[in-house]
Amino acid sequence: MIELKTSSELKQMMEACKIAAGALKAAGEAVKPGVSTAYVDSVAHEYIVKHGAVPTFLGYNGFPAASCISINDEVIHGIPSKSRIIQEGDIVSVDTGATFKGFVGDNAATFAAGEISPEAQRLCDATRESLYEGIKMAVAGNRIGDIGSAIQRYCEERGFSVVREFTGHGCGRVMHEDPSVPNYGTPGRGVRLQAGMTIAIEPMINMGTARIRQLPDGWTIKTGDGKPSAHFEHTIAITSNGPVILTQI
Ligand code: MG
């Protein structure tokens, strides 16, 4: 069931989203060669708690941290670790969320550690831009397939591939609400978008094959061919005045 939010609920939800955005920004600034992914996670965690919110990811289906941190060929759901040290040239995807006064904000971005390869830069740029292409289509009266097809077209035109097994999602009083928001699709198909819907759009884009595999840790998702992957996410609201990015700071 899709839960539409009133404008006062959207205002409240925006507070959770701003905290999630601040945590992501702080974590991104902490990404540097030589630091552990556990340290980057601790920065996000402390930011969320300091702002009176609860780290949404911590304990979610048993996940042990406030953020997922996924390096290079890790697509999503990497578990922060003191022994995982970020190296020069890595691309580091951080995904984090905050729960505040009954609402959730969810966002992600891929950060460069030091100097990255031009190919990795192109992948990150295309993934970020594809998110904005998707957001542009998040207009009342459009359909879910309009979002996914815009993301897919933008990335595939640049030679990249779209992960199919994981998607964006409704986000509101809980992190994962209906509907699911695939990063591929057919224009004009799927659920009709309405003012009051709040969704997380999150392209997960691979440099090589779209295939993925899960590590034995039960969480980490990697690309099937070992090539890098990038991930950007915003929680947005569909309003009568167009899409509003709630996790923008
Ligand atoms: Mg999400």
Nearest-angstrom CA–CA distance, 91 and 110: 6
With pLDDT > 90 as the criterion, what percentage of the chain qualifies? 99
pLDDT at 203: 98
CATH architecture for residues 7-245 = Alpha-Beta Complex (3.90)
pLDDT band at 241 (very low <50, low <70, confident <90, very high): very high
Residue 157 CA to ligand 1 center (angstroms) comes to 24
With pLDDT > 70 as the criterion, what percentage of the chain qualifies? 100
Look over the chain and give the mean of its residue pLDDT values, rounded to a whole number.
98
Total Cβ atoms within 10 A of residue 6: 9
Residue 40 CA to ligand 1 center (angstroms) comes to 19
Residue 84 CA to ligand 1 center (angstroms) comes to 23
Residue 171 CA to ligand 1 center (angstroms) comes to 8
Residue 176 CA to ligand 1 center (angstroms) comes to 7
Residue 166 CA to ligand 1 center (angstroms) comes to 9
The 10s digit of each residue's pLDDT in 126-158 is: 999 999 999 999 999 999 999 999 999 999 999
E strands along 17-149, which residues? 54-55, 67-71, 74-76, 91-100, 103-112
Residue 173 CA to ligand 1 center (angstroms) comes to 13
pLDDT band at 30 (very low <50, low <70, confident <90, very high): very high
Residue 170 CA to ligand 1 center (angstroms) comes to 9
Per-residue pLDDT at 46 exceeds 90? yes
The 10s digit of each residue's pLDDT in 143-196 is: 999 999 999 999 999 999 999 999 999 999 999 999 999 999 999 999 999 999
Per-residue pLDDT at 249 exceeds 90? no
Residue 109 CA to ligand 1 center (angstroms) comes to 11
**pTM flag (> 0.95):** yes
Total Cβ atoms within 10 A of residue 115: 10
Residue 116 CA to ligand 1 center (angstroms) comes to 25
Structural domain boundaries of the chain? 7-245
Nearest-angstrom CA–CA distance, 71 and 93: 6
Q: Which DSSP letter does residue 102 get?
A: T
The 10s digit of each residue's pLDDT in 47-79 is: 999 999 999 999 999 999 999 999 999 999 999
Q: How many helices (H) and strands (E) does the chain have?
A: 4, 15
